[in-house]
């Protein structure tokens, strides 16, 4: 398996765990992608490259800007930072696979800038 796919699977697993921890409504979807990847990697890659992950206000990428659901502020900041880091890993792995939604580059730039400036 390509290194990018190993990175992608690892990041997907950690993202599923994080989303479960914070009670995010898309946690099961991400976990399902992880399971289905072994049977239909091409189909999952297309889903991960889709607009519901990378384009617009309803995308998973945009969910990194969601309001704190009631966690202690330090915990929420740590979880959001990790959320962004995992989305960076997933986006970079998708780009390495050649499947790059036009929104990925913009999100990667934003996530890296926000994490670097502790936003």
Other Cβ atoms closer than 10 A to 69? 10
Q: What is the pLDDT of residues 48-68, one digit of tens each?
A: 999 999 998 889 999 999 999
Distances (CA, A) of 83 to 2, 38, 42, 58: 23, 23, 24, 16
Q: Which of 87, 114, 112, 86 is nearest to 101 (CA)?
A: 87
For every residue of the chain, which 3-state class applies, written as one string? CCHHHHHHHHHHHHHHHHHHHCCCCCHHHHHHHHHHHCCCHHHHHHHHCCHHHHCCCCCCHHHHHCCCCCCCHHHHHHHHHHHHHHHHHHHHHHHHCCCCCHHHHHHHHHHHHHHHCCC
pTM (two decimals)? 0.93
Q: What is the pLDDT of residues 87-98, one digit of tens each?
A: 999 999 999 988
CA distance between the termini of the chain: 35
Q: What is the pLDDT of residues 35-49, one digit of tens each?
A: 999 899 999 999 999
* Cβ proximity of 91 and 107 under 8 Å: yes
């Amino acid at each position: 398996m390509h290194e990018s796919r190993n990175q992608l699977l690892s990041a997907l697993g950690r993202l599923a765990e994080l989303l479960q921890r914070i009670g995010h409504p898309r946690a099961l979807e991400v976990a399902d992608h992880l399971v289905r990847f072994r049977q239909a990697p091409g189909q999952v890659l297309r889903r991960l490259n889709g607009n519901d992950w990378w384009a617009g206000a309803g995308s998973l990428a945009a969910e990194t800007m969601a309001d704190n659901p009631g966690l202690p502020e330090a915990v929420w900041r740590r979880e959001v930072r990790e959320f962004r880091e995992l989305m960076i890993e997933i986006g970079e792995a998708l780009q390495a696979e050649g499947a790059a939604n036009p929104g990925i580059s913009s999100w990667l730039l934003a996530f890296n800038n926000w994490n670097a400036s502790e936003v």
